[in-house]
A = this chain, B = another copy of it.
């Protein structure tokens, strides 16, 4: 076990939202139910969010893997291929099949790193920026509706929990991107 021995009842009851009645009797049940509900909601939310851009992608002969690729190259311009592999957590071959067409069709550009010329730093071309933006807008509509409906404080909680679900490697990227945003400088990955 890890540092959090949370088998069933011994946990701190610190996450109870007041939205359930019935305290006392089924406390354990309610706690389990809360997590199952979270699974349900994550499933539905992701299903509906990822379905949204599919039509546009399909028109171009692309799929979700291409979208992920465009998203991350857009997020971290001049990213190394190896870093993209780390983020996507797929194999080099899987990436090649996706990245190849994006490069051939001029959505993604490669430039040799100047400090290390083995590296192929990835950026979006104008065409790539345009496509990524279209895809982004589609998902943003869904997210914006959700944010509006849920309200500001909820959004903060949303982010806190998502961050909590993310392992160290992902958190480093998130922190790094926030640092880039704050300081305007690109920090090492």
Identical copies of this chain, number: 2
Judging by beta carbons under 8 Å apart, are B48 and A177 in contact?
no
Residues of B within 8 A of A38 (CB): 143, 158-159, 162
Docked complex Cα distance between A162 and B157 (Å): 11
Docked complex Cα distance between A51 and B146 (Å): 26
A179 within 8 A of B: no
Most buried by B among A45, A48, A75, A147: A147
CB distance from A85 to the nearest CB of B (A): 13
Judging by beta carbons under 8 Å apart, are B164 and A89 in contact?
no
A153 within 8 A of B: yes
Docked complex Cα distance between A48 and B140 (Å): 23
Given contacts A148-B12, A162-B41, contact A6 B141 (CB under 8 A): yes
Judging by beta carbons under 8 Å apart, are B163 and A41 in contact?
yes
